[in-house]
Structure 1
């Protein structure tokens, strides 16, 4: 009995010394959502820490000239990395923007002491591979109040707020979304940028594939982005979407780079919580991509800045989008510049 106890203690000490499999944790982080599935992140793995970088080469110049949505995407990957470490049985500490001389270094995540994951953390980890953007019609079922409260709490845990739009606000938001979508579609540079991220070719591991492009709303209530706009020989199908969608606005108490990163972390916690609850989600980003429209969604009196709009409901399973291999997102050498 003593020998078994000693062996277990030795195994525990060895595990504590080596820490979690950080490569596996980074692989989980790459499953995070990103604008046009651009995957604008890179990682450097150390002995017991991971540096998370933004990849400015993957910023969308037309939709995201300031890099706000890029940092939201990186923030979503950052949260997934933290969650994967927690699911592996370790605590971690995150330092945002740790080096003022290196603006692309978004965060440093350091592994701390071991601690068994909670059931809630394990549930969110299990949801990671099942979270997909759903651009299909949702059921006309009402999202239960307790599910809504869980989503609101998920955003709150990451320092953001999630507000459910009432009937009047929902109609106003959808109207603004349609206006923003029309304004974007009228820009030639927008169409060219869209083509860059939807052009199919063999072996592509980023962008939005045709399998992830949903139909057009026959009633033209929901402005589901038309990723098939420029694909040749493809006529987008139409379908009846839910007439009264559940719309939620994710906001932060400021609009700095740190707030954008935290918005991404909150977004991913909300999305994974929704997946855990068997809810489907669609980020609607057009209205926050037009500055004039985004200002209308922002409450300047309280300093609450709209970062992303979400559509939530019950829907058919959505297709996964491809992910780049680790060889493309890892910074291998200490002296290499991401």
Structure 2
């Protein structure tokens, strides 16, 4: 799901012309990743939608559209932005929708609008808002700072009080398993590598992944979606060169070494398991993850998805058995810890996502 691709951090790519496009890209990031100060009255629909688009989402496909009515916003799935190889049953799409929904709701509270969501029959969500006292709390403030940080972390343990706050943020309807012990993290690392090996061996997966990579800032700025290499800790190259270099640097051995290294640097991982295998349950998983992520961000932590073992079917069954819940589907795997700031990804303009 929501947000990645960890694979593209395999090795630095060659810098090519990045100095000419970095400044416009940085300006676009500064304009995007912020919460606007509102002046005047009225329902701030576009500010809320802008915040929602900052939510985590798989491959940064941004698979959503928005419909606005008086004091109502609907978030609708966009099937044209599916990733059918990595997400054949639309699991990640609906988790991403849940991430956007929870971000919308947290932004609403910060601006003084409480939202009441209801899942629609087609898998979208209709949110009716009412005016309340503004509550710009830590989760609201964390919205423009949340990111997927795919580099190694510094290994500093997370204190028990922070872990309790992370657990409390998830709520009761979605299961959370924190993996903190070194031996347990090593076993989970084995499953991450196994899932990754299966994906690397699938030519269709690799074609889909490469289609969503944005190899340089110019391409990322023009498309405003996908997986910008610099946002994963890599340098940039033009697409013609990046596509040729990728198979040379992304080998099973190099990827396995890298994955084990980043997991070892992370003091904890979190596994999310929803109540059912339905779009409504997957939306709930996205909401729970977003509360977890915003809480972690407010605490100064970084996060990154490690979803390979939930995307490969055989590894997912192995993971479910390891969790002691073989009948349930693990939905997300996330590592967390303290790490560096990286360049941010972009989003498409909010007005381009509106439907009548």
TM, length-normalised to structure 1: 0.81
> What is the aligned partner in structure 2 of residue 222 from structure 1?
none
User: In 2, distance between residues paired with 1:302 and 1:295?
Assistant: 7
Higher relative contact order (CA 8 A, sep 6+): 2
2:134 to 106, 116, 119: 116
Shift of 1:172: 1.8
Instruction: Give the conservation status (yes or no) of the 8 Å contact 1:91–1:111.
Output: yes
1:129–1:171 CA distance, 2 compared to 1 (3 A):
same
> What is the aligned partner in structure 2 of residue 319 from structure 1?
343
Q: How many residues align?
A: 296
2:275 to 224, 249, 253: 253
> What is the aligned partner in structure 2 of residue 71 from structure 1?
94
SS at 1:64 equivalent: coil
Greater CA drift, 64-73 or 318-327: 318-327
1:52–1:242 CA distance, 2 compared to 1 (3 A):
closer
**CA-based RMSD:** 2.5
User: In 2, distance between residues paired with 1:274 and 1:231?
Assistant: 34
> What is the aligned partner in structure 1 of residue 286 from structure 2?
264
Instruction: Give the conservation status (yes or no) of the 8 Å contact 1:54–1:74.
Output: yes
SS at 1:33 equivalent: coil
SS at 1:84 equivalent: helix
Instruction: Give the conservation status (yes or no) of the 8 Å contact 2:233–2:342.
Output: no
> What is the aligned partner in structure 2 of residue 163 from structure 1?
177
TM, length-normalised to structure 2: 0.77
> What is the aligned partner in structure 2 of residue 89 from structure 1?
112
Greater CA drift, 142-151 or 70-79: 142-151
- Specify which structure has the higher proportion of helix: 2
Mapping for residues 96-245 of structure 1, pairs under 5 Å = 96=119, 98=120, 100=121, 103=122, 105-117=123-135, 122-156=137-171, 159-165=173-179, 166-200=181-215, 201=219, 203-214=222-233, 231-233=243-245, 241=262, 243=264, 245=266
User: In 1, distance between residues paired with 2:242 and 2:93?
Assistant: 23
User: In 1, distance between residues paired with 2:351 and 2:310?
Assistant: 33
User: In 2, distance between residues paired with 1:94 and 1:250?
Assistant: 22
